[in-house]
Amino acid sequence: MNDKPKIIIGLIIFFAVFTFPFWYNHGAVSSAPEPKLSDKAEKAKHCVRDTDYMRKEHMHLLDGWRDRTVRDAERVYEIDGKEYMASLSNTCMECHSNKAEFCDKCHEYASVDPYCWDCHKYPKEKK
Amino acid sequence: MNVNYLSSLLAVVVLGLVAYVGAGIAGLQGVFGIFIPYLAVVIFIAGFVNRVMGWAKSPVPFRIPTTCGQQQSLDWIKQNKIENPSNLFGVIARMFLEIVLFRSLFKNTRTEIVGDRLSYKWVVWLWLFAIMFHYSFLAVVVRHLRFFLDPVPFLVKFLEQIDGILQVGLPGVYISGITLLVGAILLLLRRILIPKVNYISRAADYFPLLLIIGIALTGLTMRYFTKVDVVKIKELTMGLATFHSGVPEGGLGGLFFVHLFLVCILVVYIPFSKLMHMGGVFLSPTRNLANNSRMKRHINPWNPKVKFHTYDEYEDDFREKMIEAGLPVEKE
């Protein structure tokens, strides 16, 4: 019995699947998105926490805000002696008013689909 | 305590430290982030082809399926078409159930002496842990495609939705990540705690399990606890997938490189180890052959050409002399 042709076909199928990312992107250059800061955010210089923290942990921060606000009615977030209103719509989106340019760009790139806006409103985008 | 799993554990810890020190502290991010992943893929492909072609060259002259059911016989005897297939259709059904549902693990039994009697008991745990582990691993691998594809295709997003259906915490908990870790730990505990299994387990059995536990732990830690900048990581991985590799500005954390390096080790390790069962399951002659030896003559393909002199020919040669001598002949 000689099954070599069948085995080789099997191998080719396996490697076609295995190398899927290489030919799906077909060598196109893909660059990471840069979230666009609004003028107001540029002027404010710093967010509630530093940039590195916000890039990595903003979801964790917001999750904490939500739980404290909804469950314990604690609406104030205090850090470094400053007080902020713990609110996505009112605090975050006051500066980062453009959801498409600021939030969605990275979320889409990293295939993250947060359900913030199931409940929250975001400012209308100017086209 | 057992030298087999301690040495495997030590190996995984040392490998993790190598990546942590190499990329995180010494700053060799290009080596650990670009060179080693590419090298791992090349070794994987070459090793995989080599191993499979080695099997393809191995002679399988006869039908050697392991069967546990009635083989095809007279019309009024009911054949077990899946346990004892006699045609291609049966073989495909059998292989499908084996590969997709791990049917032979499902038949796992435990042999014990109960009182003064030998008893065999059906035990489902191995099958349960194995199926949990393998499908979680598949889900995790498919989910990781989000780092290598841009735009991310619908199927990957759909899986993320299903996997994150619990909507617990932020970033949301993926069920598969946890079941992968739990499954691997249960399989490891099985080897450590059951004396009979422990007796036949060697370092090569513990190492892959510990390696996968290491990968799962670093992955879960990054996602849920220490956090990483996912956009930067995708910058690196997309660079790998599009052959425009570069280490993103500012570099990445040491833990990420531990995760990546352990994955590279796993990928390299596959073709040279028992993990090759991912290819081997398709090629086991005790599973993928139809039991049709009684219907079809299978001739060993490398038999030397033997010059036969059949009885008919013999009789043709000597017929007259045989008749003369009074010997019986087939044809007058």
B149-206 pLDDT tens trace = 988 999 999 999 999 999 888 888 999 999 999 999 999 999 999 998 999 999 999 9
> What is the set of domains in chain B, with CATH numbers?
3-324 (1.20.950.20)
Count Cβ neighbours within 10 Å for each residue of A75-106 and write b for 16 or more, e otherwise: eebeeeeeebebbbeebbbebbbbbebbbebb
Work out whether the CA dihedral B323, B324, B326, B327 comes out positive or negative: negative
Q: Distance (Å, rounded) from C-alpha B121 to C-alpha A58?
A: 53
pLDDT band at B1 (very low <50, low <70, confident <90, very high): low
For B238, nearest residue in chain A (alpha carbons): A30
Is A63 close to B52, i.e. CB distance below 8 A? Answer: no
pLDDT band at A41 (very low <50, low <70, confident <90, very high): confident
Is B230 close to A112, i.e. CB distance below 8 A? Answer: yes
- What interface predicted TM-score (ipTM) does this complex get? 0.90
SS3 B110: strand
Tokens of A67: 């739980």
Judging contacts by C-beta atoms under 8 Å, the chain A residues touching residue B49 are: 11
Is the pLDDT assigned to residue A29 strictly greater than 80? Answer: no
Q: Count other Cβ atoms within 10 Å, centred on residue B17.
A: 13
E-strand spans in chain B?
109-114, 117-122
Taking only Cα atoms into account, the Rg of chain A, rounded to an integer number of angstroms, comes to 22
B59-100 pLDDT tens trace = 888 889 999 899 999 999 999 999 999 999 999 999 999 999
B199-226 pLDDT tens trace = 999 999 999 999 999 999 999 999 999 9
SS3 B185: helix
Tokens of B137: 């691993």
Is B241 close to A33, i.e. CB distance below 8 A? Answer: no
Residues 6+ apart with CB under 8 A from B237: B147, B148
Q: What is the DSSP letter of B248?
A: P
Closest CA–CA distance from residue A70 to any residue of chain B (Å)? 14
B226-272 pLDDT tens trace = 989 999 999 999 999 988 888 888 888 899 999 999 999 999 999 99
For B234, nearest residue in chain A (alpha carbons): A110
Count Cβ neighbours within 10 Å for each residue of B253-278 and write b for 16 or more, e otherwise: bbbbbbbbbbbbbbbbbbbebebbee
A65-103 pLDDT tens trace = 999 999 999 889 988 888 888 888 888 888 888 888 888
Q: Distance (Å, rounded) from C-alpha B208 to C-alpha B214?
A: 10
B147 neighbors B237 (Cβ within 8 angstroms): yes
Is B241 close to A25, i.e. CB distance below 8 A? Answer: yes
Closest CA–CA distance from residue A26 to any residue of chain B (Å)? 7
Judging contacts by C-beta atoms under 8 Å, the chain A residues touching residue B56 are: 3-4, 7-8
pLDDT number for residue A27: 65
Nearest to A110 by CA among B170, B157, B216, B32: B157
Nearest CB among A2, A21, A106 relative to B149 is that of: A21
Phi and psi at B111, nearest 5°, equal -100, 125
Nearest CB among A28, A33, A60 relative to B170 is that of: A60
B76 neighbors B95 (Cβ within 8 angstroms): no
Q: Distance (Å, rounded) from C-alpha B97 to C-alpha A81?
A: 63
B210 neighbors B216 (Cβ within 8 angstroms): no
For chain A, list residues whose CB is within 8 angstroms of any CB belonging to chain B.
Answer: 1-4, 7-8, 10-11, 14-15, 18, 20-22, 24-25, 27-33, 52, 55-57, 59-60, 62-63, 106, 108-115
Q: Distance (Å, rounded) from C-alpha A65 to C-alpha B226?
A: 19
SS3 B122: strand
> Which is it for strands A82-85 and B109-114: parallel, antiparallel or unpaired?
unpaired
pLDDT number for residue A125: 64
B63 neighbors B293 (Cβ within 8 angstroms): yes
Closest CA–CA distance from residue B45 to any residue of chain A (Å)? 8
Q: Distance (Å, rounded) from C-alpha A51 to C-alpha B229?
A: 11
Q: Distance (Å, rounded) from C-alpha A108 to C-alpha A127?
A: 19
Is B146 close to A110, i.e. CB distance below 8 A? Answer: yes
B64 neighbors B289 (Cβ within 8 angstroms): yes
Is the pLDDT assigned to residue B48 strictly greater than 90? Answer: yes
